[in-house]
Structure 1
Amino acid sequence: MRSLLVALVAMLLTALPVAAAPQRQVLYDGGSSYPRVIRLENGRILASITTNDGSQGMGVIMASENDGKTFRQIATIRDPASADGAGICCSTLFELPSPVGAMPKGTVLWVNTTGYTAPAQTKKTRQRMWASADRGATWKFMSDIAVASNEHNAWEPSLSVAKDGSLVAFYSDETDKVKHDQKLVQVRTVDGLKWTDYKETVVSDAWNVRPGMINAITLPDGSYFMTYEVCNNDKVHLCSAYFRRSADGWDFGNPRDLGTLVKTADGKQGRHTPVPAWSPGPGPNGTILLITEMLVHNGGKIAEGNGGTILANDNFGDGPWYEIPAPIHVAGVDNEGCRNFSPGLLPSKDGKSVLEVTTDYDQSICKTYYATGPLNKT
């Protein structure tokens, strides 16, 4: 009798429906990098990537009208500064929440880095901003955010609007090579044309310490939450993700304070390319989500869930973070320039699910994929 009951229970359990893992779909079927995704105020979802077409670098803009179920290409941005093999990378998308100069609220901005593969004798990397007044369909070049002062690289720009209404650009700067291998810096504009007030955001007096990959988001209370990686600061925290906060979106505190390490209660850390997002859930008061290239244990050993984990915090970054399975799991991620490199997240309006965009190899081609999955606490 007991054996019969056990058999019946086993049959019932195997008959229960099991939630299928999200199936990733190709967003851009060609070599691509730095995927980003945003939801516009009117509900349209935009995604962007950078790619190279022969010797001409370009950005590709994709749109979804059905909440990320399908995408179609709506624009190509061919930047002349990336022509002749000069190179393009590191782009991001941003919708203006308020007017900046002649650009009204709702203007979509795309920023990129060009020139990093140009010959050393002529190299001047540029952080460049483009604007769209029609939700991503057509684009106009606006300004050079920054032009490198020498042959060393600067890259990975991101945007935010400060409390005073100025548009702030952050980026990684290698041009101060005498003092720093790399540092994070910021500038701002009130008209989208002239950028001023260059200053350090995160920097170390140890030459080889490299803060990078900076992004700042606005939280519901009006404060700002910034994430970045810090590489080479010790032998354990190799490019781990850190954060800091700001009340006004311009002053993020002492630049030489490396910030707060993102870690779980059992010491796991996100490593490389952190990208944050705010979600209405799963926390009762909302949740900060952070996706990184890798997940490692405190000692540096690769953790289970590497290449497929979102770190989450329900208390504006305070206290330990917890793990949520990402919609896409990229296998074999171990600090190289394609697999799960600088992915992006877009939470649903109700905070119950999240759309992810990330990169992975299809044979020898690094392609961008997307999928949506649940935001469940485990």
Structure 2
Amino acid sequence: MGRWYTLCRRLTALAAVFMMVFCFVIPVSAKTTENGVAVYVSDNESTFDPGGATYSRIICLKNSGSANGTLLCTYDQLKNVTVDMDDGTSVSKQVYPIYKSTDNGDNWQLISNVYDKEYGLLRTSQPCLYELPVQVGDMPAGTILLAGNIFDDDPYTQSRIVLYKSMDGGYTWTFLSEVDNGGACIYDPSTTSTTTTVWEPFLGMSESGDLVCYYSDERQKSDGVLQAVSLKTSSDGVNWSGLTNVAAINNTSDRPGMITVTKLPNGKYMATYEMVNRPSLSKNNAVVYCKFSDDGVTWDAGSLGTRVALADGRGIGSSPYVKWIDAGGPNGMVVISAKWGTDSSDSISGGQNFYVNYNLGRGSWERLPMAVTYDYNDLAGGYFSGFSQSFDVSPDNSTLYQATNVENFSNAKTIDGVSYNLNDVRVGTLPLKGSIYEAEKATITNAQAGNAVDASNGLEVQYINESDSSVDFQNIKVENSGNYNILVRYSNGEGIEASHMVTVNGTQIGTVNYPVTVNWDRYLWSGFSCYLNAGTNSIKFSKDVGFAELDCIQVSETSNDFAIINKNSGKYLEIKSALTNEGAESGQWGITDHWCQKWNFEDAGNGSYRIKNMNSGLYLDIESESTVDGAKAIQSSYAERDSQIWLLEETEEGYCHIVNKNSGKYLEVFSNSTEDGASVGQWGITDYGCQEWMLVKEGIH
């Protein structure tokens, strides 16, 4: 049952709540659980727009000395604030509020309001926060920049992209420059649009060290371009270059917008943007695309780019935000947030996951559960919830901070005769050092796995309803004994708090509680800490009070494991027969979910890695340190020799060569075989797919 219950079962659950006299509640983190922490609660009296707040922006300082780790957050605050002007008058207008946290997002303080004093404009929108990583002009590294679009009140006549700077961590601000200006701030994506607005600034650095402002430009309609995403550069933040296009599609239909850009470790730059009027003018779901540049300023502007999608064709849409993070694997991880997910035909479908890629942004993408969830399609009573969110990471790349706007069901307001749940701004955290274990891959007793569009790996365990129902994660592996934080992703649409009994390695340690979620399709995190032994462990969740469905768990501070898939065969690199002895051969096989198909990349310096098999704890090696074609790939104990060192060479479509440092030869499946059990070894480069491999993480546990 799980989602729909009989009256008898509801009464049984309520009786269990009233009869229970003791329940051991395991402490959890308020930042990852409870849907994050509120930075701002929309003002029910003064808010003039049903969104309440949108366009959340967060940065974590990394170039500011002793202030490193400080979080700054702003957003599009849809109300007026009375502010003092330089001439001594007071004016009611919109501002960019700046909030600060010095305790990883637990508590927030409003430290300043930024607003227009130069042009006499009343509206602020579309903020971008940026910390300079290097000196630009007379601004040292650590200077905080705020870009935004300011415009007049109705009737609208102009839009201006402006830049402010703060030299004291966000407490005081001065106007720096105007980047560009355009016509009335009016949204009209139709093919007959005549608007000339400039929109949606985003700041970054070019390869040459210039400051770059990327933004949307509607002033190229005479060239058949409905809207372009463009850029200007500056060596001092004051004087700006001419306009260059990133994407300008000459068909009077496609409308790229809301561009964000990140630099990858291979030196390339990656841009993401929504393509308004995709997949069609009538089904406009603002599908997300990406493209690449060698320097951040030179792009193939006429190219549509590549649709961001999972292997099964699911994509994302609306207001993307992209960032490369030095965590998660040998290539780090490219992470994209967007307002909603889409199915393979680009209809709106879900929206509670980041999209991640561990192969430098190429090839298919995977899901990573969000820290904070929201009404992605505005059907639960929100309005533009999750629109143009953002995220950043801690200085040590261990924690992701997500800032987004979330509908507040206890804060409704009627505007133009319609009641809306105003959005709050919330910040949640997600640990990046840990392994996700899927509930559907656990041992399931008297319950069942079912499809769920927003579940990690697309499946969850439902119907955990009976006295003997349980989900037993029997294959949790850690290298060292000690206490570990366990996060549990769940849904509970029953309307009362639920719980599961938790048993670790055969000993019941207490219960984990599941506060109510908006519905059975909406996820939150709960959590607890427990002691795990070095090696393999079991964590079992059993029916207790109420009802909840399980998506996955994350075990903290564990190794980042990958499956390594061959391009030619689609099969998985493994140690044959799951052997654990020295000298056992590697081969390929279809997916088995066994640890012999899971590998950890250990940094060996200078961009190279040791590749450890997670079943045996031994390392991928070349037999007898051979340098000849056809030598077998085996496993052996750690040794200071180059035959255990491997380099990754990017190829295309998300694949790579795995090159042995000692021999310079390429890991391959012999004879281009596609058969289970085929041997793996080394050979000189052949350009065959049997020498190309892809790293995959989602769903391997």
How many angstroms does 1:239 deviate by?
1.2
Residue 173 in structure 1 maps to residue 210 in structure 2: no
Change (3 A) 1:166 1:360: same
Residue 99 in structure 1 maps to residue 127 in structure 2: no
How many angstroms does 1:99 deviate by?
1.4
Tell me the residue number matched to 1:359: 405
Tell me the residue number matched to 2:463: none
Tell me the residue number matched to 1:53: 80
How many angstroms does 1:16 deviate by?
11
Partner SS, residue 196 of structure 1: coil
Tell me the residue number matched to 2:286: 239
How far apart in 2 are the matches of 1:33 and 1:72? 19
How many angstroms does 1:110 deviate by?
0.3
Residue 60 of structure 1 aligns to which amino acid in structure 2? Answer: P
How far apart in 2 are the matches of 1:348 and 1:40? 8
Tell me the residue number matched to 2:620: none
2:178 aligns with one of 144, 150, 169: 144
Tell me the residue number matched to 2:150: 114
How many angstroms does 1:280 deviate by?
2.6
Contact map agreement 2:336 2:356 (CA 8 A) in 1: yes
2:159 aligns with one of 120, 125, 129: 125
Contact map agreement 2:183 2:198 (CA 8 A) in 1: no
Aligned ranges 1:330-369 → 2 under 5 Å: 330-334=374-378, 338-362=384-408, 363=412, 364=420, 365-369=422-426
How far apart in 2 are the matches of 1:234 and 1:338? 20
Question: What are the Cα deviations for residues 74-128 of structure 1, in whole angstroms up to 9, with x where unaligned?
Answer: 11112236866x42210011111111111111111000001164424xx120001
Contact map agreement 2:383 2:423 (CA 8 A) in 1: no
- Output the aligned Cα RMSD: 2.6
Residue 319 of structure 2 aligns to which amino acid in structure 1? Answer: T
Residue 40 of structure 2 aligns to which amino acid in structure 1? Answer: Y
Partner SS, residue 316 of structure 1: coil
How far apart in 1 are the matches of 2:147 and 2:220? 22
Q: Which range moves more in the overlay, 344-353 or 272-281?
A: 344-353
Contact map agreement 1:130 1:143 (CA 8 A) in 2: yes
Residue 369 of structure 1 aligns to which amino acid in structure 2? Answer: R
How far apart in 2 are the matches of 1:282 and 1:104? 31
Residue 197 of structure 2 aligns to which amino acid in structure 1? Answer: N
How far apart in 2 are the matches of 1:273 and 1:355? 18
Tell me the residue number matched to 2:101: 64
How far apart in 2 are the matches of 1:78 and 1:110? 11
Residue 257 in structure 1 maps to residue 303 in structure 2: yes
How far apart in 1 are the matches of 2:131 and 2:201? 15
1:43 aligns with one of 69, 72, 75: 69
Contact map agreement 2:54 2:385 (CA 8 A) in 1: no
Change (3 A) 1:343 1:237: same
Change (3 A) 1:283 1:334: farther
Tell me the residue number matched to 1:5: none
How many angstroms does 1:211 deviate by?
0.2
How many angstroms does 1:233 deviate by?
4.0
Pair member with larger Rg: 2
Residue 33 in structure 1 maps to residue 54 in structure 2: yes
**Unpaired runs of at least 5, structure 1:** 1-13
Change (3 A) 1:330 1:192: same
Residue 216 of structure 1 aligns to which amino acid in structure 2? Answer: V
> Quick one: higher RCO (CA 8 Å, sep 6+), 1 or 2?
1
Q: Which range moves more in the overlay, 318-327 or 230-239?
A: 230-239
How far apart in 2 are the matches of 1:16 and 1:286? 36
How far apart in 2 are the matches of 1:181 and 1:353? 39
Tell me the residue number matched to 2:647: none
Tell me the residue number matched to 1:289: 335
Q: Which range moves more in the overlay, 276-285 or 226-235?
A: 276-285
How many angstroms does 1:270 deviate by?
0.9
Contact map agreement 1:58 1:82 (CA 8 A) in 2: no
Q: Which range moves more in the overlay, 317-326 or 337-346?
A: 337-346
Q: Which range moves more in the overlay, 266-275 or 337-346?
A: 337-346
How far apart in 2 are the matches of 1:165 and 1:18? 46
Question: What are the Cα deviations for residues 177-204 of structure 1, in whole angstroms up to 9, with x where unaligned?
Answer: 4433221111111121111121222111
Q: Which range moves more in the overlay, 261-270 or 240-249?
A: 240-249
How far apart in 1 are the matches of 2:115 and 2:61? 23
Tell me the residue number matched to 2:490: none
**Unpaired runs of at least 5, structure 2:** 1-22, 43-51, 63-67, 82-91, 185-194, 413-419, 437-697
Tell me the residue number matched to 1:326: 370
Partner SS, residue 95 of structure 2: strand
Contact map agreement 1:124 1:147 (CA 8 A) in 2: yes
TM-score by length of 2: 0.48
TM-score by length of 1: 0.87
Tell me the residue number matched to 2:344: 298
Q: Which range moves more in the overlay, 207-216 or 41-50?
A: 41-50
Question: What are the Cα deviations for residues 22-68 of structure 1, in whole angstroms up to 9, with x where unaligned?
Answer: 21221112232211111112221111113231551110111111222
Aligned length: 359
How far apart in 2 are the matches of 1:258 and 1:278? 22
Tell me the residue number matched to 1:248: 295
Give the fraction of aligned pairs with identical amino acids, expressed as a percent. Answer: 27
